[in-house]
Amino acid sequence: MADKGLKSNVVGLFGGTMLGISSVAPAYVLTITLGTLAVSVGAKICFYYGLTAFGCIWFFRHQLFSSAFNIVFKFLFPLLGGLGLFFVLIITLRDSASPDYGSGASIGGIGLVLILGLGLILLGLVFMLIMRARQPEFFRGETIKHESAHEMRPHEHLVS
């Protein structure tokens, strides 16, 4: 697997670069940068897991109302989780627009946490579009066995 070696080299290069920067950069710059990145991760978590919850509903859409178990565990819980996470995402994005949020840094009066949070989500979408062009069979659902989900047996012992 040549890709595995390439990935290891890229991670090693990135780590070495970060170590080099951290050894020469002033401590306050590192505190602002790392603190802002850490705070912006919350928005990305809400976005990703919110999409995952709605993806669960979509994947099991043909089974959703076939039993009480499916209604609760394949529809209701993912729906509530996804809505809750997107609600938290909207609040986080609204709050992080303020320069006072997180590290207090801003660009053009917009909080750096919002810029990093949305910027990295948009960068991820760009990479997704690139991969969609390179591997369209994955995005058409041709690389997963759809039967595997439909063969799953509901856990009847969990439903009274």
pTM of the model: 0.65
32 — pLDDT class (breaks 50, 70, 90): low
Q: Compute the chain's Rg from CA coordinates.
A: 21
Q: Is 20 within a domain?
A: no
Q: How far apart are CA 55 and CA 65, in angstroms?
A: 16
Q: Is 2 within a domain?
A: no
Q: Is 17 within a domain?
A: no
pLDDT at 23: 76
Position with higher pLDDT, 25 vs 109? 109
Q: Count how many domains the chain has.
A: 1
Q: Is 142 within a domain?
A: yes
Core vs surface per residue 93-125: b (16+ CB within 10 A) or e: beebbebebbbebbeeeebbbbbbbbebbeeee
Q: Domain span at residue 126?
A: 25-158
Q: Is 19 within a domain?
A: no
pLDDT at 152: 57
Q: Is 83 within a domain?
A: yes
Q: Is 81 within a domain?
A: yes
Paired with 68 in beta bridges are none
Q: How far apart are CA 131 and CA 118, in angstroms?
A: 20
Residue type for position 24? V
Q: Is 73 within a domain?
A: yes
